[in-house]
Structure 1
Amino acid sequence: MAYLGVVVVLLVAAVLAMQAWRLTDNSAMEKAWTWLQSQAPASVEAFDPAMVEGLPDAARRYFLYTIAPGTPLHLVSEIHMSGEIGLGTKEAPGYRPMRARQILAPPHGFIWRLERAGAGLMQMSGSDGMANGRSWTRFWLNATLPVARAGGDENHLRASFGRAVAEAAFWAPAALLPQHGACWEETGEPNLARAIITHGTLEQAIEIAVAENGQPRWVQFQRWSNANPEKAWRLQPFGGYLGDFQNFEGFTLPTQVEAGNHFGTEAYLPFFRVRVEEVRFPVPKS
């Protein structure tokens, strides 16, 4: 009996320790979310097509499609989404239904807050993010067991910055305007726009394929990643397809997105397939 009592005490202590760890994760995420919200400027100018007159034609058309004249140029977006995430391989993706919220404040970072993925006893939650010069991946099974933890190093930060920049092309196009530091280059292809974004020591180039009317069709970039059989950090293609564009306060943004590693190759696996339900633009509290 005494032995059983010790086991019970140890199990309770372990559960309480895990819960305290999870609460610490949540607290850190909430603070980072608030910090990213604070990166939204207190006042914003309105979009004038003259702002993009000197850009390469594909880039100019991209902005004229995604931002209507007179639209306040919000730099921070909050997105509510649902869809599927694939946790397996190309042959067996293992898609799980999910719901998530995201804040996107390029180039400062993002937080993708997974509220729920999977069902029953196999529900996963947690967050993936970058803020204030740090990045992390922290996911939990049934809010009790840590199942994925990474970050705190330059490799992870570089990979996270790539995501922040690429998703700006999805849901925060104002952050890619030249007056905010993006450098747009000629590509030699009439329907391909290319931008380079820097933030401190970080740099990321992205390419956006656009239709004749400027609607972005897909985004791709060389991402620093270890999502490969060797688990080695290296540059490899990442990207996604965009669809079902809708208007959000003057921004025309995709509400259907699929994305994944090895974009444009036979190994491409769209592990991220979402439907956007809402996009809003936070304003700092006075």
Structure 2
Amino acid sequence: MDVFPRGRAAAVPRSVPRAARDRWAGLLPTTVPPPADRARLAALPEPARRWLEHAVPPGTPAWTTAEVVMTGRIRLGGRWRRFRARQLLAPGRGFVWAARTRVLGLPVTGFDAWGPEGGELRWRVLGLVPVVTGRGTDVDRSAAGRLAGESVTVPTACLGAVWSAGPDPDTAVLSWDLGGQREDCTLRVDPGGRLTELRMQRWGDPDGTGFARRAFGADFTGEVVAGGVRLPERLWAGWDRGTARQAGGEFFRARIEGVILR
């Protein structure tokens, strides 16, 4: 859980596919930030203030990116498969998620990304045979929604987002303008200030019936501490949250193994 050492440049991990390394490098900050501006808390909806007061103690640097190592299971082809991933996440700017899993006993590696270059998916078997590739407007919009939702991994960056009151008690709406589109995420916070749930209408086509705004969400449990910041440790994510099809829409279960905030 070590933070970015002052004065030392960050390197692109060797596990990041070559095609994604420029994207990764472009998201890395070059300086250690000043303390987070906690004066912004006063203007936030009470649940948002409760979360960020808990997650961002006084004196915490205003970290803008997180490098996250995670393990878990992802559902591919109707089966749950183990994965290991490393992600660089810069709320409001972009992300790269590079992972490794196995299908039919063969290694599958690749990345999902969004940034100034737009969204992109690129996955290969044995590092050679393409199995999933994607670019274009629909990939851009879906990946932007993902970035908005995963911004909660960098609570200090969320201090600078747009906030509004949520639809229910203990909720607040976190909003980002990404690629010219607004992405709204409804967060639920428990009485102690822990983030427990995220819901949003994310652009996607989970059932092959066409792209549209679909119910999407994640649940969070546990906490890890990195760079002075408290983050959720485990998450479960999927489509059709809050509907009768929620169980079938779940496709992602992960545990954070390590975080470097920069």
**Which of 163, 169, 180 pairs up with 1:190?**
169
Q: Distance in 2 between matches of 1:270 and 1:200?
A: 27
Letter of the 1:156 counterpart: V
Shift of residue 172, structure 1, vs aligned partner: 0.9
Q: Does structure 1 residue 61 correspond to structure 2 residue 50? A: yes
Contact kept in structure 2, 1:208 and 1:216, CA below 8 Å: yes
Normalised to the residue count of structure 1, the TM-score between the two structures is 0.81
Task: Please name the residue that 2:150 is paired with.
Answer: 167
Give the CA deviation at 1:188: 4.8
Superposed CA RMSD in Å reads 1.8
Alignment of 1:127 with 2:116, yes or no, is no
Task: Decide whether aligned partners of structure 1 residues 272 and 45 sit closer, same or farther in structure 2, where only a CA change above 3 A counts.
Answer: same
Unaligned runs of 5+ in 2: 1-15
Partner residue, 2:211: 233
Equivalent residues, number = 245
Percent identity (aligned): 28
Shift of 1:124: 1.1
**Structure-1 residue corresponding to 2:90:** 105
Conserved? CA contact 1:52–1:63, under 8 Å: yes
Distance 2:167 2:101 in 1: 42
SS at match of 1:107: coil
Equivalent position to 1:243, from 199, 203, 221:
221
Q: Counterparts of 1:102 and 1:154 in 2: how far apart (Å)?
A: 23
**Unpaired runs of 5+ in structure 1?**
1-24
Among 172, 179, 182, which residue is 1:203 paired with? 182
Higher Cα Rg, which structure: 1
Contact 2:69 2:86 in 1 (8 A): yes
Structure with the higher helix share, 1 or 2: 1
SS in 1 for 2:191: coil
For the Cα contact (< 8 Å) 1:162–1:223, is it kept in 2? Answer: yes
Query: 2: distance between equivalents of 1:108 and 1:245?
Result: 25
Question: Which structure is higher in strand share?
Answer: 2
Structure 1 counterpart of 2:230, from 231, 238, 252: 252
Partner of 2:250 in structure 1?
Answer: 270
Contact 2:75 2:251 in 1 (8 A): yes
CA distance in 2, matches of 1:146, 1:48: 45
Normalised by the length of structure 2, the TM-score is 0.88
The match for 2:140 is: 157
Distance 2:150 2:65 in 1: 12
CA shift in 2, pair 1:53/1:272, >3 Å: same
CA distance in 2 between counterparts of 1:188 and 1:127 reads 35
Deviation, 1:119, is 6.4
Deviations along 1:14-67, one digit per CA (max 9) or x if unpaired, are xxxxxxxxxxx9333011110011xx3624231354320121101111111211
